[in-house]
Structure 1
Amino acid sequence: MQSLEAELERARALDVSELADAVETIGFECTRCGACCKSEADDPHTATVFPDEVRRLQEAAAAGESVGDTPSEGDAQDSVIGEDDTRDWRDVARPMPYGLVDGDEGPEGETFEWALQTDACGDCAFYREDDSGVGACSVHADRPLICETYPFSVDVGGTSQPMGEAVDAEGIVRAHECEGLGRDIDRADAESLAAALKERAVREVEEAIGVRDAYDPVSTDPGEVVVHDSEGAKRPDGSRTDD
């Protein structure tokens, strides 16, 4: 397996035009079905979010911004971020469940990523549907890179293990299950998506390097969860364990 540094070098060397070629070849148009935002088979929605992306959503809330593109004027499409609303870390993100175990007092242990927060149904907390079932992200303008680039990912080897069928000759760009695949996409949109794909690939490896370098094992008490990200060990509320 190549080193993270070699993986980062490969990610930074990705050619956006070539990525766009692959995206354009397979084609994509969002149908607003919401499948990528909902729980599946009783498994809660899990979308990785970087620490700075969590803070960006918090800042949007603190500023009273109505962020996001909505498909209708219906009440169901109101932004989750209101004029007088405030959001703390736990309103935006939760510990990624992978690596945690069920203890007597709930999930416990250590994990290495944050996931977007979910609602009581296990769907992304920022997903909304109108009366006709058309879905939208209520924080669309500030959505994480993983959401911006779905249903595509880039495999640069090493720690990146994206699922899905490879759609370019070298198997770098991969497409994941989505009913919007195969639809026409214009070149400008393909290039925009490709640029976001490259940024995500770079950010994922940089985060992995940061987690590796900042990792310091901690002892967890029953019912306690610790998330190790590139900024250090944190509690579920986003506060550092060494504070």
Structure 2
Amino acid sequence: MRSLEAELESARELAVDDLADAIESIGFECTRCGACCTGHGEDEHTATVFPDEVRRLEDADTAAVGSDGGEDDAVPDAADREWRDVARPMPYGLEEGDDGLEGETFEWALQTDDCGDCAFYAEDEAGVGACTAHEDRPLICRTYPFSVGLAGTSQPMGEAVDSVSLPARGGADGEGGDEVLRAHECEGLGRDISREDAEELARALKGRAVRELEEAIGVRDEYEPADPEPGEVVVYDSEGPKRIDGTPLEE
């Protein structure tokens, strides 16, 4: 298995044109169905968000999309918004204790509302979905339903339903050539996409692949077991261990 550093070098060498070609060959147009922003049954919406993205969303302006014509009330106004309004600990590895979730986990997920949907998701009177913080949405949201197949990069919303091999380019270690563009379940797949939109999506997808690997390396390098107390949650990200409110554990 190649190191995360080698995978990061491969991600940095991804060609936007090759990614755009692969995206065009599959095709995609967002139908605003909301499936990638909402929970499904007992499964809450779970999308990775990086620490810098959380901070950006804390200050983001949110659009009025709700059927009442007012501000979406799943998150407070930016002036009153805190870390926990934006992000929650990734649930994997946590257990239900006497006082709620406890234990250790890695990374953050976008916060959800009482229905298990992304807290920044809203629908208009016609039932058309929209992100209330669209201009500041995280990379995983900008690039869905696509991901790049590299060790250390995430695969959102289950297994891929389609994939396209990318041209072999190698890497700093002389290896590589196994990179693929993966497409995940979405009703917008197979639709025509303009070259301009494909290239914009490809640039975001490359940026996400690089960012995910940088984060994975940072988590690895900053990890120090914290041995949380009963009823306590510790989240490890690239900046070190944190409490659920985003403050460093040592403070």
TM-score, normalisation: structure 1: 0.91
Partner of 1:143: 137
Partner of 1:75: 68
1:159, distance to aligned residue in structure 2 (A)? 2.6
1:164, distance to aligned residue in structure 2 (A)? 0.3
Partner of 1:59: 59
Contact 1:76 1:131 in 2 (8 A): no
- Give 3-state SS (helix, strand or coil) of 2:101's partner: strand
Q: Please tell me the residue identity of whatever aligns with 2:28.
A: F
Q: Write out per-residue CA displacement over residues 7-32 of structure 1, whole angstroms, 9 at most, x where no aligned residue.
A: 10110010000000011111111111
1:94 to 69, 88, 93: 88
Alpha-carbon spacing, 1:125–1:161, altered in 2? closer, same or farther (3 Å): closer
1:75, distance to aligned residue in structure 2 (A)? 2.8
- Give 3-state SS (helix, strand or coil) of 1:147's partner: helix
CA distance in 1, matches of 2:21, 2:189: 15
1:59, distance to aligned residue in structure 2 (A)? 2.3
Alpha-carbon spacing, 1:79–1:102, altered in 2? closer, same or farther (3 Å): closer
Contact 1:32 1:135 in 2 (8 A): yes
Alpha-carbon spacing, 1:132–1:207, altered in 2? closer, same or farther (3 Å): same
Larger deviation, residues 184-193 vs 167-176: 167-176
Contact 1:49 1:113 in 2 (8 A): yes
Partner of 2:42: 42
Partner of 1:188: 196
Does residue 169 (structure 1) correspond to residue 182 (structure 2)? The answer is no
Alpha-carbon spacing, 1:2–1:109, altered in 2? closer, same or farther (3 Å): same
Structure 1 residue ranges, 4+ long, deviating more than 2 angstroms after superposition: 72-85, 158-163
Alpha-carbon spacing, 1:58–1:200, altered in 2? closer, same or farther (3 Å): same
CA distance in 2, matches of 1:5, 1:241: 27
- Give 3-state SS (helix, strand or coil) of 1:2's partner: coil
Contact 2:66 2:125 in 1 (8 A): no
Q: Percent identity?
A: 64
CA distance in 1, matches of 2:45, 2:195: 31
TM-score, normalisation: structure 2: 0.88
Q: Write out per-residue CA displacement over residues 96-129 of structure 1, whole angstroms, 9 at most, x where no aligned residue.
A: 0011111122111111110000000110000001
Contact 1:77 1:136 in 2 (8 A): no
Alpha-carbon spacing, 1:5–1:103, altered in 2? closer, same or farther (3 Å): same
Larger deviation, residues 45-54 vs 102-111: 102-111
Partner of 1:234: 242
Which sections of structure 1, spanning at least 5 residues, go unmatched? Answer: none
Contact 2:149 2:181 in 1 (8 A): yes
1:94, distance to aligned residue in structure 2 (A)? 0.3
Following superposition of structure 1 onto structure 2, how do residues 17-28 of structure 1 map, counting pairs within 5 Å?
Answer: 17-28=17-28
Q: Would you say how many aligned residue pairs link Structure 1 and Structure 2?
A: 235
CA distance in 2, matches of 1:53, 1:220: 26
Q: Please tell me the residue identity of whatever aligns with 1:176.
A: H
Contact 2:92 2:105 in 1 (8 A): yes
Q: CA RMSD in A?
A: 1.9
Alpha-carbon spacing, 1:73–1:114, altered in 2? closer, same or farther (3 Å): closer
Which sections of structure 2, spanning at least 5 residues, go unmatched? Answer: 167-178
- Give 3-state SS (helix, strand or coil) of 1:185's partner: coil
